[in-house]
Amino acid sequence: MQIVTADRALVGADLEVVEHAAVVIDGDQIAWVGREADLAADLVERADTVRTLGDATLLPGLIDAHVHLAFDGGPTPVARMMAEGDSAQVALMLRSARELLSVGVTTARDLGSRDYLGVDVREAIASGTARGPRILTSGPAITVTGGHCWFMNGEVDSPDAMRTMVRRHHKAGVDCIKVMSTGGNMTPGSMPWHAQFTEDELHVAVDEAHRLGKKVAAHAHGVEGIRRALAAGVDSLEHCSFQTEEGFGGFDPELADAIAASDTWVSPTCSARMSDFRRLLPEREFPLGELYARGVKLMASTDAGIDNNPHYGYVYGLLSMHEFDIPIRDVLRAATSGAARGLGLQGVTGELTAGTSADVIAVAGDPLTDLTALHELRMVVARGEHFAPDPVPAIEPLDPDDLPELLRRMIEASRVAREQALVTAEGLG
């Protein structure tokens, strides 16, 4: 048994502040949380170690609800996946997992890797062979033939094929099901504003997955793909960007209100690169702030692994969420207890409460007043085991040339629009 004390702790699902706090860890579970002054004498006597952190905050381990362990976060992650064999991919996935743990992420949902390599990686971490967060994995994302991420080997083209693929995923031991309701930005010939599946096909995926006790995450950029996925009853909408052929300006208030009124969570993949996108695409509307204002349930997620989006950039993604006028406490809830609820892990992780998994981090200072405190890790405990974080590099700003071709075209269109607007304004003047 071990005791950790700090000047404060963020306790329970609402992250309530407890001053001069103590957390008691017994094996892989939290045994007690509260004020150090209220700590029972018998717990102190039974403790093998007592660690005093001083001016630090204890809080639940962080959760990233959308990562791709098999993408390397470099400029060409798809090309690397397609070129590598399974052994190299597993090695990369284990490295990605370790990077996540090194920035305080103790639970991550891997939403798309080739075949069922994610199951092998999950088991290697769970058995202690490798260090990383608790992993939930979907296996290969289910897509249409030649559709977004077809190279993961999850192609289907009919309701019967959809049902069979969900069953195969279940047989292979996945934790959840990922369906590509729309196209995406990383696959040539796949457009993010196009809906890939009919509502009936998505219903088949949801009905079969739910029958098997698994949640369904729907990759959904375009409005019609979002609408169909919501109507089919998916458990989470990934991205939910309301993307159009011209960019991101397709926000639908009525659809957003319908999402808020449903049981569906939104995993907005607000990454380390969101600040860059907003800087490089000043005319484009990103809907995260509107979704929050309308009461949509949000899980923190980053899409880590895709182009120029490394797994160690998680905290920058939380800072970007705050830039959408989401209060710090709500950002932290989305990264802990909220994400746990959305992933079906309520009562398992995501909060400092007796009986939950001993997923605990400590940061210098107070993240409720300054989110950058999350960069200053003082302690990482995953399922009761201490982990010494590896050093990770800083995230450098992107240049337009670093972006995928589709986004470069959007930037160019924005530039042309600005110039035309200036010409028009000068003419009117």
Q: How do residues 83-130 score in pLDDT, each as one tens digit?
A: 999 999 999 999 999 999 999 999 999 999 999 999 999 999 999 999
Calculated CA dihedral for residues 369, 374, 376, 381, nearest 10 degrees: 130
What's the confidence (pLDDT) of residue 75?
Answer: 93
What's the confidence (pLDDT) of residue 404?
Answer: 66
Mean per-residue pLDDT for 388-404? 87
Query: Among 232-246, 304-318, 321-335, 396-410, whose mean pLDDT is lowest?
Result: 396-410
Query: Among 181-190, 313-322, 395-404, whose mean pLDDT is lowest?
Result: 395-404
Going by C-alpha positions, the residue among 148, 69, 186 that lies closest to residue 116 is: 69
What's the confidence (pLDDT) of residue 419?
Answer: 72
Evaluate whether 205 touches 232 at the Cβ level (below 8 Å): yes
What's the confidence (pLDDT) of residue 401?
Answer: 78
Q: How confident is the model at residue 285 (pLDDT cuts 50, 70, 90)?
A: confident
What's the confidence (pLDDT) of residue 399?
Answer: 83
Radius of gyration of the chain, Cα coordinates, nearest whole angstrom = 22
What's the confidence (pLDDT) of residue 425?
Answer: 60
Mean per-residue pLDDT for 290-302? 98
423 pLDDT higher than 70: no
Evaluate whether 37 touches 18 at the Cβ level (below 8 Å): no
Q: How confident is the model at residue 380 (pLDDT cuts 50, 70, 90)?
A: very high
More confident residue, 420 or 318: 318
Q: How confident is the model at residue 132 (pLDDT cuts 50, 70, 90)?
A: very high
Pairing of strands 236-239, 265-267: parallel
421 pLDDT higher than 90: no
409 pLDDT higher than 80: no
Q: In the chain, how many H helices and how many E strands?
A: 14, 15
User: Can you tell me which residue has the tokens 């007690």?
Assistant: 32
Compute the distance between CA of residue 71 and CA of residue 311 in angstroms, rounded to an integer: 9
420 pLDDT higher than 90: no
Burial of 346 (0-12, 13-18, 19+ CB in 10 A): middle
Query: What is the pTM for the complete model shown?
Result: 0.95
424 pLDDT higher than 70: no
Compute the distance between CA of residue 159 and CA of residue 229 in angstroms, rounded to an integer: 15
Q: How many CB atoms lie within 10 A of CB 13?
A: 18
Give the burial string for 111-138 (b: 16+ CB within 10 Å, else e).
bbbbebbbbbbbebbeeeebbbbbbbbb
Kindly report, residue by residue over 178-204, the tens digit of the pLDDT.
999 999 999 998 999 999 999 999 999
Q: How confident is the model at residue 27 (pLDDT cuts 50, 70, 90)?
A: very high
Q: How confident is the model at residue 13 (pLDDT cuts 50, 70, 90)?
A: very high
426 pLDDT higher than 80: no
What average pLDDT does the structure give for the chain?
95
At 53, give phi and psi (nearest 5°): -100, -15
Query: Among 288-292, 338-342, 403-407, whose mean pLDDT is lowest?
Result: 403-407
Compute the distance between CA of residue 161 and CA of residue 47 in angstroms, rounded to an integer: 55
Share of the chain above pLDDT 70, in %: 95
Compute the distance between CA of residue 362 and CA of residue 59 in angstroms, rounded to an integer: 6
Going by C-alpha positions, the residue among 277, 254, 284 that lies closest to residue 399 is: 277
Evaluate whether 267 touches 237 at the Cβ level (below 8 Å): yes
What's the confidence (pLDDT) of residue 355?
Answer: 98
